[in-house]
């Protein structure tokens, strides 16, 4: 048995749900096309007996037109449902793409912020290093001036003790 096309599958469902009595077609209740099948039923093609062409040829012409009108109406309803579902899915895809783009922008902003923080931290570390160097330099300068002053006092003291020692 070859796989049935979706349209033939719908038509087969219609045929299975249509009862002909006294030359008039009577519609039976059909499940919604998008509803899950009940327990015990398996989705897929339905074998309803003779092919569609043979069944419609054996019907009176008025019944055949009513039957075809019902098929067309069901196909139109299914097409409308599918188009609405497609529109809904496309809207959802658009939302997902917008969310992805927003997420990418936020990631870029976060990356830039982290880089700035890292740069600030490195410049702060460099600034602290420079402050330590400046403090060390100032301390060395202070010690140098104190040592220079002490040496000057020592030389003055030695010159006073031995007045002739400075002229040699």
pLDDT in tens, 125-159: 888 888 899 999 999 999 999 999 999 999 999 88
pTM above threshold 0.85: no
Give the rounded distance of the alpha carbon of 25 from its chain centre: 51
CA atoms within 13 A on the CB side of 83: 6
Sorted by sequence, the CB contacts under 8 Å of residue 155 that are 6+ apart come out as none
68 within some domain: yes
**Token match 């936020």: residue?**
106
Task: State the DSSP code for 27.
Answer: E
Domain boundaries, position 16: 6-87
Q: Rounded distance, CA 74 to CA 12, Å?
A: 12
- Apex CA 43: angle with CA 38 and CA 48, to 5°? 100
- Examine the pLDDT at 101 and tell me if it is beyond 90: yes
Q: Report the SS3 class of residue 166.
A: coil
111 within some domain: no
| Residue 76 binned pLDDT confidence (cut-offs 50, 70, 90) | very high
- Total number of domains constituting the chain: 1
59 within some domain: yes
- Examine the pLDDT at 46 and tell me if it is beyond 90: no
24 within some domain: yes
How are the residues of the chain apportioned to helix, strand and coil, as percentages rounded to the nearest 5? Answer: 70, 5, 25
78 within some domain: yes
In DSSP terms, which residues pair with 19 in a beta bridge? 26
116 within some domain: no
Torsion of CA 131, 132, 135, 138, to 10 degrees: -100
Average pLDDT over residues 29-47: 45
93 within some domain: no
Q: How many CB atoms lie within 10 A of CB 110?
A: 10
153 within some domain: no
Average pLDDT over residues 110-122: 92
CA atoms within 13 A on the CB side of 57: 5
| Residue 52 binned pLDDT confidence (cut-offs 50, 70, 90) | low
pLDDT of residue 127: 87
Rounded to a whole number, what is the largest CA-CA distance in the chain?
154
User: Is the pLDDT higher at 54 or at 151?
Assistant: 151
């Amino acid at each position: 048995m070859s796989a049935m096309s979706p349209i033939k599958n719908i038509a087969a469902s219609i045929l299975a749900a249509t009862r002909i009595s006294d030359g008039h077609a009577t519609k039976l209740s059909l499940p919604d096309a998008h509803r899950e099948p009940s327990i015990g039923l398996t989705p897929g093609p339905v074998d309803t007996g003779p092919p569609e062409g043979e069944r419609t040829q054996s019907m009176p012409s008025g019944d055949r037109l009513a039957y075809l009108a019902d098929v067309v109406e069901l196909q139109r309803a299914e097409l409308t449902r599918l188009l609405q579902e497609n529109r809904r899915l496309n809207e959802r895809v658009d939302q997902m793409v917008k969310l992805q783009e927003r997420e990418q922008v936020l990631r870029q902003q976060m990356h830039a912020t982290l880089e700035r923080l890292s740069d600030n931290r490195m410049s702060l570390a460099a600034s602290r290093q420079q402050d330590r160097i400046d403090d060390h330099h100032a301390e060395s300068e202070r010690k140098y001036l104190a040592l220079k002053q002490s040496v000057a006092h020592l030389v003055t003291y030695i010159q006073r003790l031995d007045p002739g020692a400075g002229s040699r």
